[in-house]
Structure formats: C-alpha cells, structure tokens
Amino acid sequence: MEYDPEGSDIKLKNVTFENNETDIYLKNDSSTPANAPQVELDEGTKDTAGAITVEVENPANGVQITTKTTDEDYQQNLKLASKNDGWLIGYKKDADGEYRYLTQREGDTYFGLNTINATATTGEGDNAATLESYAQLTEGTPVKLTADIPGGKPCTGWKVEKIAAEGVTEVHDAGVIKYDPENPETATLTMPDYDIFVTAEYEEGTTVDPGTGDSDYGGDIAAGVVIGGIAAVGAYEVGTGLYRILAMDDVAMPTNRIALAKLLWERAGKPEPESTALYSDISAEDTDAQKAARWAVEQELLNDAEDGKFHPAFPVSKLRVCLTWENAKQKGLFD
C-alpha cells in the first residue's frame, strides 16, 4: 500500500498483507520529514510473512508511523518491521495514547528487542532496570523476561522471531532463550546479533492467579486459582477502579515489587511495620521503601526470601497489581 501525505490518514481494520515487497510505503517531504502520513492499524491487522513491513520515503528520527490510540493497549503487540536500512520501528505510550514511530539504530552493534505480552529487565539488584516494550541492546546482553499474563491466561512458553527486511522467521536456537517448561512464566534471553520479537505465549480458555508464595517469586506471577476471594477473571473490574485511583493521584501503575509495596503502604496511610529489620537489597537510607516492603510482607501481600532480600526490582504484571490491591482491600487495610 502506497500512501501519499496529500491524502487523509487511512484506517486499516482486520487487514491481512500478503506477498508484498513492502506492505506500507509512506511518502513524506525531505524538508519536513516529520509530516509523514499516519496509518491506523487495528488489532486484527497482520501479515502472512509474520510482520507488516513499512518504508518511509525520507526516514528521520521520531517520524510517527501509526495514529495514536487511546484507552487501548495493543500497538506494542503489532509486528512492524522497517524496510529502511539502519532504521527500526519503536513504540511509545504517553498521556495522549500509544503509537509506533521510526527510530535510527543506535549503532552497528545495537539490535532491536520488541517484547510482546511480557516485561523485560536488565541488570541485577540496585542496577536492575525495566525496559520499554521496544529497546535497543548490544549482542550478548542478558535479559530477564516475565510473562504479563493478560486476562489471567497461563503462560505456555516463549517464541523468538528474527526480524529482517524480507520478513520474519522463528528462531529455534536454545542459546538465545532459556526457560523451564514446567514453570515458563520467566525466561532468560541472551540478545542475539539481529533484531527480534519475543512473545510470551498463552493457553486460551484458562485463567490463573498470581499468588504470594514461591521460592523464586513465581508466586508474583502464577500460583493458585483465587487470591483474597477474587477470581483472576474478575481482575478487569478491580483494575478499572484502580486505574481511576491512580489517575486521580497522578501515580504510575507499579511495574516492580517495590513500587507495588509502596503503593499499598501509602494507600494504607504509611503504617509502621512491626519489624525494624532491613532488607539487604534495599538502600538503608530509603526508609520509606524499607518500611513499605516489610509492611507488605507482614500483611502477607508480598513474600520475601530467607536470605534477607526482598528483590525490589522483580517485575510484577498488571494482573498481579490489581489482585494484590483487591487482597489488601479485603483484608481491611484500606477502602
């Protein structure tokens, strides 16, 4: 599909691209490259080769590829591949919505990682960092992946796909990603020397709930069926109320254990925990974080390790946040 900026933006719904050299070609003026036309792609849009290929006539950093969508979370899951040499297609979400954009490769040794239905982190302890849905990493960078479990569906495994201009091919190299088939909710990725999609795959028709107990903190990802009396399938209603509260207080949705602990502790009025013992992997000077973590464990909302660690940077899914919030409410810790 060739798209000229003189026309209006185009909407594509449930489109399947097939046997195209380039699926979408966007014309823009070299003097004002940012004024490129935008395409609205819905959730059902796909390509038989595995990715929708996009080429921009005059590539430039930040050129917006798709129109912004609000109140939805699917654009990060769209498989878009750039046909422009040295350019990748990134993902952003801000207060106005989510969209895809063109971004230049940071260097010859950097490769694109697009995680789908999962959270990626790099580093350990205080140096741990949660990556955006789209990131550029160097070859060999270790990445920890945690399944997001959308809708409470149990994770069944992981799929890695190599992104190339000619299409997408599935990777079956055990050296790229490793996980326990019996407990596939987390995986370890070693960044290869090519761009990839990494997708957490799920079983349809079944729901699970993130519980609180597991030696590897898998309890923050998947355990029993019900937590605090609320089934995982009811997380939507819980999440809706939580999102409203977060929006009113201008607070971001927690993405790791310490952020979740602090959200709960602050909502409960910052009560003093019974124990004054400090977690070794949380700064002793960060008294709020220490109190929040200890209090959350004492209230059996989160767990900790026997070695005196809390693992503050370990990712938590949105489902986990919603269910833990409801558990705290049912315990009478706050309204």
Calpha distance 204→183 (Å, rounded): 17
**DSSP assignment string, 246-268:** HHHHT-PPP-BHHHHHHHHHHHT
**DSSP assignment string, 24-53:** EEE--BTTBGGG---EEE-TT-EETTSSEE
Average pLDDT, the chain: 78
> Could you tell me the two tokens for 329?
């409410």
Note the pLDDT of residue 267.
Answer: 92
Calpha distance 148→319 (Å, rounded): 8
> Where residue 236 falls among pLDDT bands split at 50, 70, 90?
very low
Contact 51, 20 (CB under 8 A): no
Calpha distance 102→24 (Å, rounded): 13
Q: For 134-284, where are the E strands, in sequence order?
A: 134-138, 142-147, 155-164, 167-171, 177-180, 183-190, 196-202, 226-227, 230-231
Rounded average pLDDT over 255-273: 93
Bridge partners of residue 189, in order along the sequence: 143, 177
Note the pLDDT of residue 20.
Answer: 62
pLDDT tens for each residue of 155-168: 888 999 998 766 67
Calpha distance 197→184 (Å, rounded): 17
Note the pLDDT of residue 152.
Answer: 62
Can you list the alpha helix ranges (DSSP code H) found in 149-250? 235-249
Calpha distance 29→270 (Å, rounded): 55
Amino acid letter, residue 191:
M
pLDDT tens for each residue of 279-292: 988 999 999 999 99
Note the pLDDT of residue 322.
Answer: 78
> Where residue 239 falls among pLDDT bands split at 50, 70, 90?
very low
Rounded average pLDDT over 244-263: 76
Rounded average pLDDT over 66-74: 83
